[in-house]
Amino acid sequence: DPQQDFAFSIDHCSDITTHTFNIRAAMVLRHNIKELYINVDLIINGKTIFTYSETLCEPGLSKLIFCGKKKGEHLYYEGPVTLGIKEILQGDYTISAKLTNEDRAIVACADFTVKNYLDY
């Protein structure tokens, strides 16, 4: 996306479903984060089955360490993630996430797609 400077990596992709794996994410902010909201959709085989919204940053409520960062600053996260999923059923899975700030400007957005056609 030409509007974002974003990098994301996953170690040991084949172990995602049952093990803890490390991720790294970094970006340069193009907007201030005084307030930050997240919207996530889970889409399975083209149909939205789950939608999640939450306030992550607002005055007096800071769930993340980068709340209050300014345009041009760098964000970096590195750490473990455990999903604990025993099985992923066959199909196309898309997670669509959008982070917006107090001006409703898109701070970051991403679509992650997993296509699983393996028999377990």
* Model pLDDT, residue 38: 92
pLDDT tier at 13, thresholds 50, 70, 90: low
Report pTM. 0.71
CA-wise closest residue to 107 among 66, 77, 78: 66
* Model pLDDT, residue 18: 57
Interval 41-59 mean pLDDT: 91
Cβ proximity of 105 and 78 under 8 Å: no
Question: Number of helices (H) and strands (E), helices first, in the chain?
Answer: 0, 8
Q: What residue ranges define each of the domains in the chain, with the CATH number in brackets?
A: 7-116 (2.60.40.770)
